[in-house]
Copies of this chain bind each other. A is one copy, B any other.
């Protein structure tokens, strides 16, 4: 089973990396760009085949290591 975890900064948390990307895009001539936010994408291969248990495991991984719950949110996709 494959899990994809999207980790992104909570709304309101300053994102200087996203800001830098937005500025770089503007300086390349792209227009009409609003807010830009950068997050992380983590892809995991799991030997677990039960979706419910896999989700619980990945949820625990997010809380313990993959995301900082103080400033980040995460979303889990299983396939």
Residues of chain A at the chain B interface (Cβ within 8 Å): 6-8, 18, 21-22, 24-25, 28, 30, 32-48, 57, 60-61, 64-66
Contact = CB atoms under 8 A, between A and B. Distances in A.
A63 to B, nearest CB: 11
A43 B48 CA distance: 30
Copies per assembly: 2
Contacts of A57: 30
Contacts of A61: 25, 28, 30
A36 B44 contact: yes
A42 B38 CA distance: 5
A45 B35 contact: yes
A62 B34 CA distance: 16
